[in-house]
A and B are shown apart, each in its own frame.
Chain A
């Protein structure tokens, strides 16, 4: 058997003897290649400092979509997240994956007659849901609305006053409306956000690619993006966590209100409701005929925001019927003379 390679000239010699390759062109190419390799190495060098508990981890990168995970996958994911939280915040979290209950559809109702714009709900939510303190991420936006409009474009959520409420305004808190026809879910290119059977639209923070399409699609300005690595003081971490709700997020993912899923799926009220000093916030299961929200939807003058968008929100606003004869005490504009 003949070995053809023996009859051929060696490749290196062929290169060296090629007439195009001069000393100058060799140096030129060599410098360019060396520079390029050095630049690529410099750009990749931060990867050397990464461990499994940092933002990027192999386990997180290879993790399946929430809906494709079996019990074992979820257990290892929760363990990874738990270790990560413990390393970063010195707190051992109680992190679980809580499934929706059967026969439950959550609905929120907010009484605009009672809201005084004190922003306690905003900050209770931040504490409950481990939101970034700097840069600030807040799920609830309390709009100070001029009288005569429900157009949220007219509202101002940066109001600073000695005391609230202002006599010339009313207050309209806005958070995720957990729409039954959610535009944010439709636009997500990777299905990282979806609607659960109990009506809560959730996000798999490990699956989100941070394209912010959902933020653009939401008519209620409810979605927030982590432009930077969230920072939370260690002593402020809430260790009661769940996979789909308030576990610490990473840079570059979306987040939003999830009706305090880790509380409400265990029967509790959301944190914003618990702290409201005027009882303007109402929450419950609309499928239960005896629930407060069901009775409110049946009996009060209820409306949704931006109905024309066709989003079918599960977040309702309502007013109280006031007695104009008794409402004559100008020194007490709040609840002054309700009969």
Chain B
């Protein structure tokens, strides 16, 4: 009987100790706190020049000024001195920075006016200045031009609300190089360092000969579907 009562007396004391232990642990956790900060230097930093807003090319003005050697010169400074020849396949001796990669449009004088090099030539006759080059582009790129007119193609920056500020609708050559209009592939900025979520490559990204998107490539022996990226 006495043993039993001593046991029942000891039990609550042990209970107190457990409680105190928990409280001290809780206090220690709250006061020190686990640190999960990632050092800033571990994240690749994006440089300012990689995310410049606005246009990324400068379009030519009317009349166009061109920098040859050290001087800013007008086209007519040279092109009145030398005779112009309509010769499509002659390698360029001047303007050697120009690499023409414009599909079927492979001759200088398709766009540049032969009589006045400070103008662009239109197909139906007549010329436009370099600041209205979109009229020239529209002659071949009708659907894109109409999209650009209504704003579905191209870049519009500044103010969406024209009452409050200027809205700038970039023209063709403020994004595209007229001699090589397709965008070059560019390196992407660094990806997120957050936890990965979801499937990293789904069923359609895995080679499966039953998949109609891939079966023809496999049959033709092409090396497609290997572009999963180097991160897996």
Q: Which of B192-215 contact A (CB under 8 A)?
A: 192-194, 196-205, 211, 213
Pick 5 A–B contacts, CB within 8 A, sort by A.
A153-B202, A169-B227, A267-B160, A267-B165, A338-B144
Q: Is B191 an interface residue (CB 8 A)?
A: yes
Q: Is A228 an interface residue (CB 8 A)?
A: yes
Q: Decide if B164 touches A334 in the complex (CB within 8 Å).
A: no
Render A153-174 as a binary contact track against B, CB cut-off 8 A, 1 for contact: 1111111111111111100000
Given the contacts A161-B230, A233-B40, A28 and B13 also touching, CB distance less than 8 Å: yes
Q: Is A271 an interface residue (CB 8 A)?
A: yes
Residue of A nearest to B104 (CB): A326
Q: Which of the residues A135, A136, A164 comes within 8 Å of B187, measured between beta carbons?
A: A164
- Chain B interface main SS type: loop
Q: Which residues of B contact A159 (CB under 8 A)?
A: 188, 191, 229, 231
- Chain A interface main SS type: loop
In the complex, A273→B144 CA distance in Å? 20
A221 to B: closest C-beta gap in Å: 8
Q: Which of B151-207 contact A (CB under 8 A)?
A: 151-161, 163-165, 170, 175-176, 181-194, 196-205
In the complex, A171→B64 CA distance in Å? 37
Q: Decide if B187 touches A285 in the complex (CB within 8 Å).
A: no
Q: Is A151 an interface residue (CB 8 A)?
A: yes
Given the contacts A45-B31, A146-B204, A35 and B24 also touching, CB distance less than 8 Å: yes
Given the contacts A168-B225, A299-B152, A338-B141, A279 and B175 also touching, CB distance less than 8 Å: yes
Q: Is B1 an interface residue (CB 8 A)?
A: no
Q: Is B87 an interface residue (CB 8 A)?
A: no
Q: Which of A126-185 contact B (CB under 8 A)?
A: 126-127, 133-136, 138, 141, 144, 146-149, 151-169
A305 to B: closest C-beta gap in Å: 14
A233 to B: closest C-beta gap in Å: 7
Q: Is B42 an interface residue (CB 8 A)?
A: yes
Q: Decide if B43 touches A136 in the complex (CB within 8 Å).
A: yes
Stretch in A57-65, A115-123, A204-212, A239-247 touching the partner: A115-123
Q: Decide if B213 touches A269 in the complex (CB within 8 Å).
A: no
Q: Is A217 an interface residue (CB 8 A)?
A: no
Q: Which residues of B contact A116 (CB under 8 A)?
A: 183, 185-186
Q: Which of the residues A46, A264, A269 comes within 8 Å of B30, measured between beta carbons?
A: A46
Q: Which of the residues A124, A267, A293, A321 comes within 8 Å of B159, measured between beta carbons?
A: A267
Q: Is B63 an interface residue (CB 8 A)?
A: no
Q: Which of A303-339 contact B (CB under 8 A)?
A: 318, 320-321, 323, 326, 329, 332, 334-339
Q: Which of the residues B37, B40, B159 comes within 8 Å of A269, measured between beta carbons?
A: B159
Given the contacts A42-B28, A46-B30, A134 and B43 also touching, CB distance less than 8 Å: yes
Q: Which residues of B contact A117 (CB under 8 A)?
A: 188
Q: Decide if B182 touches A336 in the complex (CB within 8 Å).
A: yes
Q: Which of the residues B140, B182, B196, B227 comes within 8 Å of A332, measured between beta carbons?
A: B182
Q: Decide if A168 touches B144 in the complex (CB within 8 Å).
A: no
Q: Which residues of A contact B175 (CB under 8 A)?
A: 277-279
Q: Is B92 an interface residue (CB 8 A)?
A: no
Q: Decide if A134 touches B188 in the complex (CB within 8 Å).
A: no
B209 to A: closest C-beta gap in Å: 15
Q: Decide if B161 touches A285 in the complex (CB within 8 Å).
A: yes
Residue of A nearest to B193 (CB): A136
Q: Is A186 an interface residue (CB 8 A)?
A: no
List the 10 shortest-distance A-B pairs measured between CB atoms, nearest first.
A292-B151, A267-B164, A279-B155, A154-B202, A39-B23, A274-B53, A267-B161, A42-B27, A163-B185, A332-B182
